[in-house]
Amino acid sequence: MRRDIFQAIADPTRRAIISLIAVQAMTPNAIAENFNTTRQAVSKHLRILTECELVSQEQQGREIYYSLEINKLKELDKWLEQYRTLWENRFDQLDNLLSTIK
């Protein structure tokens, strides 16, 4: 199944996980401690985030640490910036129109 970054951030728990691991790499157990949900549910979210390439895993001894892929996240900034730009361009056009029909 193909996943994208928008799917990753569509869920509030996943957004919270992103915020958590932005600060430091964490194990699934440490992440799960922050939520009133099962370890299984957190694992599922982590799997989706991994499939979206938003997080990466690193084995350290017996533990797996999850960390955030910052560059992937920047894709989102780009989308939002475009939406903002759309409104700026739209209003620039209206500014021009208003000055010509006054």
Partner 1 sequence: MSTNSSFNFRVDKSKKTVYVTKEFAAGLSLVWDAFTKKELLDQWWAPKPFLSKTKVMEFKVGGRRFYAMVSPEGKQMWQLQQYTSITPKTNFKFLSVFADEDQTPHLPGSDWDLSFTEENGRTKVDISIYNESLERMERMMVMGFKEGFTATLNELDSILTSLK
18: number of CA atoms within 13 Å, CB side? 22
Which of residues 33, 58, 63, 80 is near partner 1 by CB under 8 A?
80
DSSP bridge pairs for 26: 66
Q: Catalogue the E-assigned strands of 1-102.
A: 55-60, 63-68
Site for partner 1 contains 26 (CB under 8 A): no
Site for partner 1 contains 70 (CB under 8 A): yes
Sole window of 7-15, 26-34, 44-52, 54-62 interacting with partner 1 (rule: CB under 8 A): 7-15
Give every CB contact of residue 24 below 8 A, 6+ residues apart in sequence.
67
- The footprint of partner 1 (CB under 8 A) covers 6-7, 9-10, 15, 18-19, 22-23, 70, 73, 76-77, 79-80, 82-99, 101-102
